[in-house]
Amino acid sequence: MKLEETRVIEHREIQGGYRLLVLLAPVIAPQVRPGQFVHLRVPHLEAAVLRRPFSVYDARHDRISILYKDVGHGTGTMKYLHAGEALSLIGPLGHGFPMCGEGHIPVLVAGGYGMAALYLGARQSPVKGVAFFGGRTSADILCVKEFEALGWEVRVSTEDGSLGSRGMVTEAVDAWLQSDRGDSVPEFFACGPNGMLKAVGDRAIAGGWTAWISMDRHMGCGVGACLTCVQKIKTPDGGWVWERCCKEGPVFECRKVVWEEKPEA
């Protein structure tokens, strides 16, 4: 974990409000492992006391790429960043994805820009498997070509049917699970909304497979000090403890997660 003053090399919109930010980060970039994140101080946002966490989409040599969507106060300001600007980064942070188990076929499941957390692992994995990308509409499906170029089979689904099969990404996963896969044993790597993560986890538990899920919790310090991003994690004695998404996570094996979504009024 390092604190580094980085510089914006490239910043552009890919599609539909999704943007790619490339930073010169010679200290942090070589240390990033799949599924880890960086904590970024948004410039020109003087009233913000918190940094913003972003999955590292790619890290090569001295460069880090972040893929994000303009959804709020922080990202709304970030979109005006231009090449050459300085940007303070803390990273790499958290425990990311492990390598796929020997003899298993890696299965990636991404909701929207959740694929950003999966690319680095997809690139480094010696075994290429199948990647499921889901979103509300075609604009939410990103970087299919990039994953295909790595040798992954990408299956797309959208809720409105504007690209790939119509429906939830987990329906596409179900169709694949029910197809003739021989005796292959899937191992899941997922990032996306909590509902999707739970659904992937439920399927893995039912099938007796492993599923690694990257949890996205509201985050404070990013380094384990403030205890904002806590997640209930099961203990062997049948109880639970809070674990920090920024430190013990963000990736957990699905069996360890206690799902407890607040009922909406």
Cβ 67 vs Cβ 18: under 8 Å: yes
Any contact of residue 49 with another protein (CB under 8 A)? Answer: yes
Any contact of residue 258 with another protein (CB under 8 A)? Answer: no
- Of 75, 138, 194, 228, which lies in the binding site for another protein, with binding defined by CB under 8 A? 228
Applying CB under 8 A, the site for another protein has a residue count of: 28
| CA 99/CA 187 separation, integer angstroms | 10
In angstroms, give the least distance from the CB of 183 to another protein. 41
Any contact of residue 233 with another protein (CB under 8 A)? Answer: no
Residue 185 or 225 having the CB closest to another protein: 225
Q: Which two tokens stand for residue 84?
A: 């050459």
| CA 58/CA 124 separation, integer angstroms | 11
Residue 70 or 174 having the CB closest to another protein: 70
Write the interaction track for another protein spanning residues 140-159; mark x where CB under 8 A is met and - where it is not. --------------------
Any contact of residue 256 with another protein (CB under 8 A)? Answer: no
Q: How far, CA to CA in Å, does 216 sit from each of 3, 25, 114, 179, 222?
A: 22, 24, 10, 31, 12
| CA 102/CA 188 separation, integer angstroms | 13
| CA 148/CA 40 separation, integer angstroms | 29
Cis peptide before 26 (omega within 30 of 0): no
- Of 29, 56, 67, 90, which lies in the binding site for another protein, with binding defined by CB under 8 A? 90
Interface residues with another protein (CB under 8 A)? 1-3, 41, 46-51, 88, 90, 217-218, 220-230, 242, 264-265
